[in-house]
Amino acid sequence: MLTSKSRLDNAYKNAKQLAFDDNSKFILFSDCHRGDNSFADDFANNRNIYFHALKHYFSEGFTYIELGDGDELWENLTFKSILDAHKNVYDLMQLFYNQQRLHLLWGNHDMVYRDPKNVEKYLYTYFDERMGEVMPLFPSIQIHESIVLKHAETQQELFLVHGHQADWWNFLFWKWSRFMVRVLWKPLNVMGIADPTEPAKNYKEMIKIERRTKKWIVANNNLITVCGHTHRPRFPEPGDIAI
Ligand SMILES: [Mn+2]
């Protein structure tokens, strides 16, 4: 069986390489969990502040990289319900995309994007009901597991990945977790009962995932690694492990 280490190794080996230099500007977001604007949509409360921040980064020339779980495809059965709910956000992301300034990774909640056929089906185009025609969204977009940003001169690397590679339950059994979210946890959530397999809601699990990720980083020469998944903000101090 693949371990956290080998899953992170694979993600690093297969990462999309992106060159950058001292003038490059990147904005990274992770775990937006965009939903359908219903009570279960955790993104809905923050959509305005997110939208205005992203608009600012667009006009300032930043490249937008999303580190997975951008679309909440466990609670929502269709991408269309998410697109309809947050069309302004996708229009803005399209502006980034049209200028080659958008890069998306998949996480466990949008792991269906690991299959390029689903990416094509969901994201290349959408049907605009007002116009009565099929419109482009992100035509030919590729969604990656990971990205390595590599400095053109110094060769300094930054590894970007969602982070569920160090969470064997959510990497291997995401279909089972997705099913449980749909039938059990989504309704129970309303009553304040949280899904224990979600690291963001399970402190012990979260610490274990962070520990496995840190171990991998140390084994890889303290490779600077940026990941999401646990929903816990963490920034290393000088001299700390580069997570
Ligand atoms: Mn996740």
Query: What are the backbone dihedrals phi and psi of residue 180, each rounded to the nearest 5 degrees, phi first?
Result: -65, -40
pLDDT digits (tens, 9 = 90+) for 173-193: 888 889 888 888 877 777 777
Distance from the alpha carbon of residue 30 to the mean position of ligand 1, in angstroms: 9
pLDDT digits (tens, 9 = 90+) for 167-177: 988 888 888 88
Could you report the per-residue pLDDT of 205-225, keeping only the tens digit for each?
Answer: 999 999 999 999 999 999 999
> Has residue 237 been placed in a domain?
no
Distance 125 CA to ligand 1 centre (A): 25
Whole-number average pLDDT of the chain: 94
How many domains does the chain contain in total?
A: 1
Look at residue 1 in the predicted model and tell me its pLDDT.
64
Compute the distance from residue 22 Cα to the ligand 1 centre, in Å. 31
Query: What proportion of the chain, given as a percentage, has pLDDT over 90?
Result: 76
Distance (angstroms) between ligand 1 centre and the Cα of 178 equals 12
Residue 165 pLDDT exceeds 90: yes
For strand 133-136 and strand 143-144, is the pairing parallel, antiparallel, or unpaired? unpaired
Distance between CA 15 and CA 21 in Å, rounded? 19
Q: How far is the CA of 152 from the centre of ligand 1 (A)?
A: 31
Q: Structural domain of residue 215, as residue ranges?
A: 4-227
Q: Name which of 1-15, 76-90, 93-107, 126-140 the model is least confident about.
A: 1-15
243 lies in some domain: no
Of the listed ranges 148-152, 162-166, 175-179, 187-191, the one predicted with least confidence: 187-191
CA of 133 from ligand 1 middle (Å) equals: 34
> Does a structural domain hold residue 133?
yes
Distance from residue 130's CA to the centre of ligand 1 (Å): 34
Q: Is residue 234 part of a domain?
A: no
Judge whether 239 lies within some domain: no
| pTM for the model | 0.93
Mean pLDDT of 113-129: 97
Spacing, Cα 108 to ligand 1 middle (Å): 5
C-alpha 110 to ligand 1 mean position (Å)? 9
